[in-house]
Structure 1
Amino acid sequence: MNVVLATLNAKYIHTSLAIRYLKAFCAEEFDVQLAEYTIKDPAMSIAADLFSKKPDVIGFSCYIWNIEETITVVDMLRKVLPDVKIVLGGPEVSYDTAEWMNRLPAVDFIVMGEGEETFRDLLRQIAGDRKYHFVFGLAYRKEGQAEAIITPGRPKLDLNDIPSPQRFAEDIPTLRNRVVYFETSRGCPFSCQFCLSSIEVGVRYFDMERVKSDLSYLIDSGAKLIKFVDRTFNIKRDYAMEIFQFLIDNHRGCVFQFEITADIMRPEVLDFLAEHAPPGVFRFEIGVQSTNDPTNLAVQRRQNFAKLSRTVNKIKESRNIDQHLDLIAGLPHEDYDTFRKTFNDVFALRPEELQLGFLKMLRGTGLRLDAAKYGYVYMERAPYEMLGSDVMPFSDIVRIKRVEDVLEKYWNAHRMDRTMEYLVTTVYPSPFDFFQRFGDYWESRGWSRIGHQLEDLFIRLWSFLEADRPEGLDTDVAMALLKIDYYLQHKYKPRKTWWEDRLEKKDWMQGLRWAAEKLGMEERELQKKAALDRIPFDYGAWVQEGRTDKTAGTALVILYSGEDEPPRLVALPLPDGQAAAADQQSLSESGKGQES
């Protein structure tokens, strides 16, 4: 029997852990092929490729991001492969299963919940007596009947009875260029009503030696990014600490990302990570969602924001671990003004990335069942995003989406960290107000519907500042920081700049000679490797004290060493101005590029 397991990933770099688990569990009895595509691939191309494999059974792993595209492919396959058995599984079809079976007559079976054992038993019945009522956790139809039959659910597996999904030889050639998903546990101890993980009671763990063995195999095989999918990686402290220590000792340059609950992180764990975690090897994803107490109470989310903040700040102080903090707009009791406060509360922690998402009314969750209680209206089909509630109308959702757009481009992308910090700290009433006003302007110019090069992003921010003219804006400071950020975004000396006030050739040559003397470099070498500019205030005083001193200008020398090294900014007091700092004094500023 020719069995194909397929899925449509959100991006090419992603991989599907689910279909690898299914293949591993069935491997002793059935030869299973894996077929991965993306939601951007043409449905005709996917259907043609699957058709060429001549399958007897095709299984699809379904999520909110791929269900509608998967349905299109399924309908095509049913027409060209009338005898193939089509099976759906995954979280998107594990709830409201009868509704799915009624909507999708092309589908023969739906595997509900944890699918390894159910899918294997289904294959046994397809290959044998076809007594599907013996398979727990299955939806099916009797031959010639439209109505679905749903069997009782299946008890949870002992996780150590599941063979490893990480050891397929065909995966090795692409490990280096793709995200590898990995789990050490299943389940979640919390009951957040917007999350599917709240439905499963209890947390189960894989054997520690198995976890270490699989991680060693992946690292030895060339994996560069391993993303742990455990819902709360740090819930069991000793277990998490042992894995942290193992990865610190054996990472070999691989990067590991974890979802953690920050307000339960123990001080000794934070101290250990601050002292021992190698820079850049660990990344933490922290779901804050809301800082509004009535909101967290309504969704049964226990959270101590003060403790969470201490954890985030402690990790940030170590400078070893990047942090990605999540927010959800549209939760109960959170209107536009309350969400503005949540955004500013979390932005004050200055995470490396702040993800602004919107509530999705997932099938099976308590919040979807209580939608009428909060006046929710939402998309009827995936991704089921909310369109409004009793306290947040659609007009507010639209405005906050503009915040999300520019937040992604300007804060999360780290293209102009110095400029952003200046604007959100000094110029605008709050970070949210800056992103909202910029987002509104961005939309009014139609920029959300066109592409953007790096230079465009700088030009468009400057255009906004010139149009908005906020009271606290010092245009000299803003332009200077934009210049510096622009220079430091390049690996090689840029051939052109986007601003008008360029140095005259005579001034540039004079500055070149002066800078070469100051830096002890040959003029020819400096001309080849450096960009020169000047700003009309003391940059050293601004970095160290946040003070703008326009009695002393600064010469900027940006040194480019090539692709493997970030550019280095040297700020020198101009000879005709008051010296604000000793020549080549270290400025120790965070952000891309090195400064001195």
Structure 2
Amino acid sequence: MTAKKRVTIIELSVYENTVPLVAGYLQAYAQQDPLVRDAFEFDIFSASLSIDQRELVETLRSRGSDTYAFSCYIWNMGLITRVLPELMAVCPDAYYVLGGPQVINHFLEYAPVGEPKVVVCHGEGEHTFYELLRQLRAPEPDLSQVSGISYWSADGQPVETDKRPRIGQLDDIPSPFGAGIFDDGEYTFTVLETNRGCPFSCGFCFWGAATQSKVYKFDEDRVKADIDWIAEHGVASVFIADANWGHAPRDVELSRHIVAAKQEHGFPTSMVIAAAKNRPERVAEITEILVRGGLVTSQPISLQTVNPTALKMIDRANIRETTYTDLQRSLRERDISSFVEMIWPLPGETLDSFKAGIAKLCRLGADTLTIYPQLLLHNTALYNQKEVMGLEVERASAPEAEADVVVATKWVTREECVEGTWCYYAMHSLYNARGLYHLSAYLDRTGVIPYEQFFTDASFFLRDAENPVSRFFAESVDTADNYSLLNVGKVAHMLLQSRRAEFDELLLGFCQEQEWWSLPYVPLLLDLDLLARPYVYRENIRAPGCPLSRVKLEHLGATEFEVSMADDDWRFLVDQGIVASAGERLRITHPQDGKMPHPRQRDMEHNAAYCHVMIQRLRQLLPVIRPVDHTTTGDGRRLDPVGQRQW
């Protein structure tokens, strides 16, 4: 009996203990054919990007495989390109297969010249990989018979075979969950697909470009069975990979099924979705189901920009802006946190229009704004128009990735791009982290200084300051590290915990340098912001790291401040709608529920991931601000709140 050939499918993921879904798809599809099943032994190797490069090469070499298949994405391609030549040197007789968004249509960039045993797959991989294995059974494979691949011919010429159509019947791909492929693993994170495709073709995104708009669905009962497997096997976190969760009416029922599975098994405990465009009512309904079910704490609103010119240039003008404002309103009525996602710099966006967009969203009361740098992704419309759009890029410093960050466009110089990024850090610090939230709102509302100029002035102050916070911002800008999702969490960790006192001093220093500092109620609002800045961990609150100007701190408890103030200051706070009525003292109570203690032994990466989630569920972190009459009972409890409001 002929020994089986061994094929190893490699997934290198951002997170530890991730279900290798792509590898599972490839194996489940291919082994349906008895000829392939009898000829190959399947082996899946899954690891996080933290794995040592030499360890990875040695581990794969020890597999002794005849074929190695890599799943290639922007976040792991730097590691793969270093590992591939080393692995080929120690396993010269094996075939090497590269598939995934990063390598599609980029054969010449990733396949070593003249190496006939390196194959690049284009498009969906299941059927292509299956056909490739059928050929690799033979002593002399004929790769020309496999559609959807590129390779080097024996005479050193690049060959590209016919393009393969998309898989229209997704249920032709067996569920790897149902096939038992993952049964022996222990996982904490998984991706779940219920459909493939996207009806939109946003210029910065590969999704629509790759799928040509048509959406195909997996059978609903199959999806529910996959959800049940996830819950029964204790997988904690789920990312729904659909481009538009909530686009289909059935997504409401699937959301309810996930909640029911959690109630029965205790898992999953968290979930992330990419919400549907132009379906605000259904998305709000789904979000409420998931929030009440304890699976999500906040809803992303992927706006990207509010500039009509930029929206048109990225082919996103058909997504209504009212969709996002309606969704935000609906979520606020349900007391559900949301966060607006934007991208800087997009084609057509100028520095002034970017600042104006931030200001507009602040005036509309967005809970938080998350602004990502523009990444130039392979195979997107913008990638194919980069010269026309004047897109200049720099490679981010993370060695395991291949993140090309846009640093200039036809509408934005490199210097303006840097200024816009600093302006984002100022907004993130003063609005998202509530550094000067009440003060900036008052100055904008009264026409003293609009948000656009306020954040600009703050950004220049931060750039000139000698402070750990400013140094972190400067390094992030210089290395394009802000492309990492963890960057948002690192900033929140510093501003709201590790560098809290230093940041208080920065806030006071900035205010005292401004002309508006002499206005009557500005010091009062600064005091309020210093006391009301949220806490991201469950810990005892602290007195501000700088002196208070207009209020007197009368009481500092584990979770609350009490301050006294002059009568005219009380009248001002009532007039501004910050409190409902005057009292003897102002009580600011910081919530503790839903927070974890500060894990002092954990590294910054771990803390950043937690803080990123927390800053995006800001409503649950904000203190209750209320006046109290200082009447007490015999046991010292304070009574009679006369009005309260959460900010």
The two structures have a TM-score, normalised by structure 1, of: 0.80
> Does the 8 A contact of 1:459 with 1:498 survive in 2?
no
Cα 1:443–1:50, aligned 2, differ >3 Å: closer, same or farther?
farther
Q: Which runs of 5+ in 2 are unaligned?
A: 397-401, 477-489, 598-619, 632-637
Give the Cα separation in 2 of the matches to 1:85 and 1:304: 48
Provide closer, same or farther for how the CA distance between residues 372 and 257 of structure 1 changes in structure 2, counting only shifts above 3 A. Answer: same
Question: Does residue 475 in structure 1 map to residue 523 in structure 2?
Answer: yes
**Which of 585, 589, 593 is the matching residue for 2:646?**
589
Superposition map of 1:136-535 within 5 A: 136-143=147-154, 145-157=155-167, 158-167=169-178, 168=180, 170=182, 174-175=186-187, 177-178=188-189, 180-199=190-209, 200-201=211-212, 202-236=214-248, 238-252=249-263, 254-265=269-280, 267=281, 270=284, 278=292, 280-282=294-296, 283-301=298-316, 302-320=318-336, 322-379=337-394, 382-405=402-425, 416-417=433-434, 419-427=435-443, 429-444=449-464, 445=466, 446-448=471-473, 449=475, 453=494, 454-469=497-512, 470-472=514-516, 474-485=522-533, 488-493=535-540, 497=543, 499=545, 534=563
The Cα offsets for residues 424-480 of structure 1, whole Å up to 9 and x where unpaired, read as: 412464555444444443343323349874141442243144134345553343234
Distance 1:361 1:561 in 2: 40
Higher relative contact order (CA 8 A, sep 6+): 2
| Letter of the structure 1 residue corresponding to residue 545 of structure 2 | W
Equivalent-residue separation in structure 1 for 2:131 and 2:227 (angstroms)? 29
Deviations 1:117-136 (A, max 9, x none): 11122122223241111111
> How far does residue 60 in structure 1 lie from its aligned partner after superposition?
1.0
What percentage of residue pairs aligned between the two structures are identical? 19
User: In 2, Cα distance between the equivalents of 1:273 and 1:563?
Assistant: 21
CA distance in 2, matches of 1:227, 1:547: 40
What is the CA distance between 1:353 and its match in structure 2? Answer: 4.5
> 1:336, CA displacement in angstroms?
0.6
Cα distance change of structure 1 residues 244 and 535 upon mapping to structure 2, 3 Å threshold: same
CA–CA distance in structure 2, aligned partners of residues 309 and 572 of structure 1: 32
Which aligned pairs between 1:116-135 and structure 2 lie closer than 5 A? 116-128=126-138, 129-135=140-146
The 3-state SS of whatever aligns with 2:44 is strand
Q: Does structure 2 conserve the Cα–Cα contact (< 8 Å) formed by 1:327 and 1:354?
A: yes
Query: How far, CA to CA, are the matches of 2:104 and 2:7 in structure 1?
Result: 21
TM value normalised by structure 2? 0.74
Distance 1:564 1:192, change over 3 A: closer
Secondary structure at the residue paired with 1:216?
A: helix
Worse-matched range after superposition: 193-202 or 113-122: 193-202
Question: Do the aligned residues in 2 keep the contact of 1:374 with 1:389 (CA within 8 Å)?
Answer: yes
Whole-angstrom CA distance in 2 between matches of 1:37 and 1:356: 29
Aligned length: 554
- Counterpart Cα distance in 2 of 1:409 and 1:104: 52
SS in 1 for 2:43: strand
Q: Assess if the C-alpha contact under 8 Å between 1:532 and 1:557 holds in 2.
A: yes
- Is 1:89 the counterpart of 2:120 in the alignment? no
Provide the C-alpha distance between the structure 2 equivalents of 1:477 and 1:587, rounded to a whole number of angstroms. Answer: 17
Instruction: Tell me which residue corresponds to 2:13.
Output: 9
Gaps spanning 5+ residues in structure 1: where? Answer: 513-526, 591-596
> Any conservation in 1 of the 2:7–2:67 contact (CA below 8 Å)?
yes
Q: Please list the CA deviations of residues 46-74 of structure 1 after superposition, one character each: whole Å capped at 9, or x if unmatched.
A: 22222232222211111122212210111
Cα 1:571–1:359 shift into 2, 3 Å: closer
What's the CA shift for 1:339? 1.4
The answer on whether the counterparts of 1:108 and 1:140 sit within 8 Å (CA) in structure 2 is yes
Asked if the contact 1:89/1:115 (under 8 Å) is kept, the reply is yes
CA RMSD of aligned residues (A): 3.9
CA deviation after TM superposition for structure 1 residue 314, in Å: 0.9
Cα deviations by residue, 1:378-405 (Å, 9 ceiling, x for unpaired): 3489423323122111111112222444
SS at structure 2 position matched to 1:31: strand
